[in-house]
Amino acid sequence: MFRSHVLICGGTGCTSSGSQALFTKLESELQAKGLENEIKIVQTGCFGLCALGPIMIVYPEGTFYSRVTAEDIPEIVEEHLLKGRIVERLVYNDAADDAKVEETIASLSETQFYKKQKRVALRNCGVINPEVIDEYIAMDGYFALAKVVKEMTPEDVINTILASGLRGRGGGGFPTGRKWQFARASVSDKKYVVCNADEGDPGAFMDRSVLEGDPHALLEAMAIAGYAIGADEGWVYVRAEYPIAVKRLNIAIEQAREMGLLGKNIFGTDFNFDIHIRLGAGAFVCGEETALLTSIEGNRGEPRPRPPFPAVKGLWGKPTIINNVETYANIPQIILNGADWFASMGTEKSKGTKVFALGGKIRNTGLVEVPMGTTLREIIEEIGGGIPNGKHFKAAQTGGPSGGCIPASLIDVPIDYDNLIEIGSMMGSGGLIVMDEDTCMVDLAKFFLEFTVDESCGKCAPCRIGTVRMLEILNKITDGNGEMEDLDKLEELANYVKSGSLCGLGQTAPNPILSTLRYFRDEYVAHIVDKKCPAGVCKKLLNYTIDPDKCKGCTLCARQCPAGAITGKVKEVHVIDPAKCVKCGACVEKCKFGAISRK
C-alpha cells in the first residue's frame, strides 16, 4: 500500500520541458532513501497548465509543483516525501501579480486555473496513468460500454446522445446523435466508426491530450458508437507527429483486446468490435472528413463532394460515422450520467463543455475545459491569468486558420457555436489565441493565409488559386503598396473562395481576412493610406529614428547595428540611415535612454 502518489505529467508539453528526467531521478532518489515501497510514481497525461511544466503533483496533499527540474528532486524527496514539509519555492504561484508571492497555492484544485473549469472530456487527464487499463476502470471506465451492450438498444443509445444535445467538437458543430441516426438508418452489410484524430489547427492540442491522457475513453466511446450504428470495426486516424499519443493508443488497444473489451462477444453478448490505427502524414486537409477517409483507404488525401455524406457512403463506400476525439471523450460520461446531466451544462443550443487550447499573449498557456457559454473574459482574465507584461487585450482568434477574431468589444459574449458564427468566427476545434496591442491584424490574417496556401490540396480552383491571390493582395498591403480598392477586391475574392470551394478548408480559409476586415478595417486603411503599421509589426512600413534630445552619443546602437546604418561620434547625436536600415530592432533593445523610436 502506497502512502503517497507522485503524479508526473507525461504529456507532450511536459515531456519536452524535461519530465522524463524527473521520472528517472525520482525513481533513483526514492530507492536511495528506501521509499520505493511507500511512494508510488505515476506518469499521467496532460494537466493542462503546459506553460508551467514540468508539472508534479503530490497526493494525498494535492500539492502542485510547477517548473520542477531534476535538481529539485532530492529536496522534494527529503523535505516533502520524507518530512512532510512542502517545498514552498516550487509551489505554483497563482497570483496574477508576481509581487504577491505569499499567495502561493498548495493544492491544485484551489487554483484560479482549475476552479472555474468543468472537466468532462479531460476528466481523467492528469489523474490516471493512461498506460494502465485498471486505473481507467477504477474511474468507472468501460461501465458505459457494459451498460450499453447489456441494457440498451441501439435506438436507446442514439436517443440518449440526441437528447444530450452533444454537437461535434471538431469544428462544424453538427449534432452527434443525428449523425449516428443517419448511419444507423443506412442499410449495409458493413459499417465503420472512424475517429478523426488529425488535429491540424495550429495551436490546438486537446485531442492529443485526450489520446495521451485517457486513450481508453476514446476506445470505449468508439465501441459504443459501433453498437449504436451497427458497426464492428473502428479506425483511428491520428497524425504521426503525435508519437506519445500513438504509443499510448496502441498500448490501450492491446490491453482492451486482452481483457476482451475489444474483440468478439463483448460482455458475453453477440456484439463484436475492434479498432485499428492509421497514421496520417500531417496534411491539414486530411482533417476534412472525406479527405481523411480517402487517406485511410490508402489514397492521396483529397476531399470529394458531399453528398453522399459518409453516413451513407463513407470508408470503402460503406456507411461510416466520423467524430473527433473530444466528441468521443464525452460519450461514456453521457451514457453513465444521463442526457439530462449533460444538457444541464452549457447554453440553449450548445450543451456540455468545450476544451480550449489557450495560447498567444496569455499567462497560463495550456488546456482549459469550461461549460459552453463561458465568456471570453472569464477564460482570459480568470482562468488564463490575464495578459502578461501589463499589455492590453486586443482580440482573440478562435478556430485557427478557419476561424476569425473576436475584438475586445465582444469580450463578454458567451462563447458557444452559434454566437461565434454570428460574430464572424467559429468554434473550430477550440484553438484560442490571445493577442495584445503588439499584434498587427493584417499580419495575423497573412499568417493564417500563408498556412492555408501551404495546406490547400489543390484539387479545386477557388481554393488553390483564390488563396494565393488573396495572399498576394495582403503582401501588397503590408509592403506599403496597397490601394484602397484592394480592400474591395479582397472582400469580393474572399466571398468567392468561401462559396466556391469544394471542402471546409477552402470554404473557411477567407474567414481570418473577413473578420479582421470587419473589426479592424482601420488597420488595413492605416497600412494603405498612411503607410503605417499601427502595431509596429510590418517591417517595410516601419521607420527607426533617433530622438536628438534623448541621444547621449554613447555609441551602443551603432556598435550593435548589423547593417552599419547608424553613424555618429562619441557624445554626439547619432543618426540612422533609412536606406541602409534593415529594421531588425537591435538598436532599440540596446539603447539605454529610450531615444530610438519605431513608427
Partner 1 sequence: MKSVEELLAIKAKMQDKIAVRKGSGETRIVVGMATCGIAAGARPVLNAFVDAISAAGLSDKITVTQTGCIGICQYEPVVEVFEKDKEKVTYVKMTPEKAAEVVEKHIKGGAVIAEYTIGAAKQ
Task: Give me the residues that bind partner 1 (CB under 8 A), please.
Answer: 1-5, 7, 38, 59-62, 82-85, 107, 127-128, 134-135, 137-140, 142-143, 146, 150, 259-261, 265-268
Number of residues assigned to the chain: 599
Q: Which is nearer to partner 1, 2 or 174 (CB)?
A: 2
The pair phi, psi for residue 275, each rounded to 5°, is -125, 140
Question: Min. distance of Cβ 212 from partner 1 in angstroms?
Answer: 18
Question: Min. distance of Cβ 234 from partner 1 in angstroms?
Answer: 17
Cβ 16 vs Cβ 10: under 8 Å: no
Among residues 384, 344, 336, the alpha carbon closest in space to that of 364 is found at: 384
Q: Which is nearer to partner 1, 132 or 413 (CB)?
A: 132
Q: Which is nearer to partner 1, 138 or 421 (CB)?
A: 138
Cβ 60 vs Cβ 4: under 8 Å: yes
Q: What are the distances in angstroms from CA 96 to CA 88, 163, 337, 392, 444?
A: 18, 40, 36, 14, 27
Q: Which is nearer to partner 1, 149 or 477 (CB)?
A: 149
The one-letter code for the residue type at 311 is A
Pairing mode, strands 431-436 and 353-360: parallel
The one-letter code for the residue type at 522 is D
Helices (H) and strands (E) in the chain, counts: 23, 17
Q: Which is nearer to partner 1, 261 or 474 (CB)?
A: 261
Enter the C-alpha cell of residue 116.
472555474
Question: Min. distance of Cβ 333 from partner 1 in angstroms?
Answer: 16
CA dist 225 and 273 (Å) reads: 10
Query: E-assigned strands of 281-429?
Result: 320-324, 353-360, 366-371, 393-398, 404-407
Question: Min. distance of Cβ 327 from partner 1 in angstroms?
Answer: 24
Q: Which is nearer to partner 1, 38 or 450 (CB)?
A: 38
Question: Min. distance of Cβ 139 from partner 1 in angstroms?
Answer: 8
Q: Which is nearer to partner 1, 140 or 437 (CB)?
A: 140
Question: Min. distance of Cβ 352 from partner 1 in angstroms?
Answer: 23
Q: Which is nearer to partner 1, 132 or 537 (CB)?
A: 132
Question: Min. distance of Cβ 40 from partner 1 in angstroms?
Answer: 8
Question: Min. distance of Cβ 18 from partner 1 in angstroms?
Answer: 23
Question: Min. distance of Cβ 538 from partner 1 in angstroms?
Answer: 50
Helix (H) or strand (E) holding 598: strand 596-598
CA dist 137 and 141 (Å) reads: 4
Q: Which is nearer to partner 1, 60 or 562 (CB)?
A: 60
Q: Is the peptide bond before 512 cis (omega within 30 degrees of 0)?
A: no
CA dihedral 358, 364, 369, 370 (to 10 degrees): -100
Question: Min. distance of Cβ 298 from partner 1 in angstroms?
Answer: 33
DSSP annotation of 309 reads P
Q: Which is nearer to partner 1, 118 or 377 (CB)?
A: 118
Residues near 495 by beta carbon (within 8 Å), at least 6 away in sequence: 510, 514
Q: For 430-478, give the DSSP string.
A: -EEEEEETT--HHHHHHHHHHHHHHH--SSSHHHHHHHHHHHHHHHHHH
